[in-house]
Amino acid sequence: MLAARYWLPQDISAHGSTIDQLIGFLHYFMFVLFIGWGIFFVYCLLKFRARGGATARYEAIKAKPSKYAEIVVICIEAALLIGLSMPVWASYRDEPPGNDQNPLTVRVIAQQFAWNMHYPGPDGKFGKTKPGLVDETMNPIGLDESDPAAGDDIVSINNFYVPKGRDVIVRLSSKDVIHSFAVPMLRVKQDAIPGMEIPLWFKAEKSNDEVRASLVKTVTLPSGEDPDEIEAFLTKHRNDVFMADYAKGVAVKGGWVDEDTVAALVQAGIGEVEVAPKHPVNIQCAQLCGLGHYRMLGQMQILEPEAFAAWEKESSAEDEFFDEDEFDDEDEDDEDDEDEDDEDEDDEE
């Protein structure tokens, strides 16, 4: 818990351990380097401080120790790049999942400001897409429903369903500007470039339920007397759910932390509850992509294999569209604030 709070988020991917080891080594190395350069800096301040009778020299120093130091720095940097970084990158890029591993292939199409996931369905074949068929509300990727292969395709917005323990190949692209597909817990980050389809892959070793269970925390409920305290509590835990049943069904495990439930728990004399994020594994856009960049948030839905198979079977007959309000009500408030600001500017003009 301490490491997740002050260091990296927990790693739930098959390949993440080598990345974490590299990051850890580099930070320790840079800390030692920082101490060494700090000592040298203080030495220079004292050694070459202003003193009476000394004259400044304006020509460049050509001493051999200076050249040796430059060579040492170059060698260290080359060792870090060639000896550490490149092998980690090569081991990942040179070993994509093969067909014998039965990987799940998903097209992820980024746009301002959402993530579109396109699954081939049970037949394993992607239906054709055409730019002329794009409809931002009903058909965001332009799926051609007349194509026989598109009959069982699944389209999901901002919800990326994957099975636990199975390789996933992502074919990443963008509809408009440069985005960056980043899932910190899976140690995945790749730019989405317009006009290009870039592959990346990962394997999740924990389901959402397992990750959520590891993030459980006990919180103290507000007294109910101070409205500001209640509002602050609800804002802080707006994306959390209860992790146990309380007060004989007043709050149920998996239920949202909301104003009515909190008030009922306080009235029932409950002082502490266990909560955890409803959506513990986030998809983030790590590239500034426009005014709505802050709300380009998606959710990984990592399911047990049986649950994923059931979801795929149920969803293959119809497109699924994700309601952003399910996990983040702030968007509406932010949009309202923006509208009010626009109205104020119009009034001033």
Q: pLDDT digits over 14-28, tens only? A: 989 888 988 898 899
> What's at 281, amino acid-wise?
V
Mean pLDDT over 132-158 rounds to 90
pLDDT for residue 291: 94
Q: pLDDT band at 175, cuts 50/70/90?
A: very high
Count of CB atoms within 10 A of residue 232's CB? 12
- Kindly indicate the confidence band of residue 63, based on its pLDDT and cuts at 50, 70 and 90: low
- Determine the pLDDT at residue 318: 64
| Helical packing angle, 86-93 and 16-47, nearest 10° | 160
Cβ-contact 241, 279 below 8 angstroms: no
Asked if residue 172 lies in contact with residue 198, where contact means CB atoms within 8 angstroms, the answer is yes
E strand or H helix at 342, and its extent? helix 330-348
Q: Which amino acid is at 32?
A: V
Count of CB atoms within 10 A of residue 317's CB? Answer: 10
Whose tokens are 């459980």? That residue is 216
Give the other-Cβ count within 10 Å of 105's Cβ. Answer: 17
Query: At residue 31, does pLDDT exceed 60?
Result: yes
The per-residue pLDDT for range 197-244, each reduced to its tens digit, is 999 999 999 999 999 999 999 999 988 778 888 899 999 999 999 999
* Position 345 pLDDT exceeds 50: no
- In this prediction the pTM is 0.79
The fraction of the chain above a pLDDT of 90, given in percent, is 53
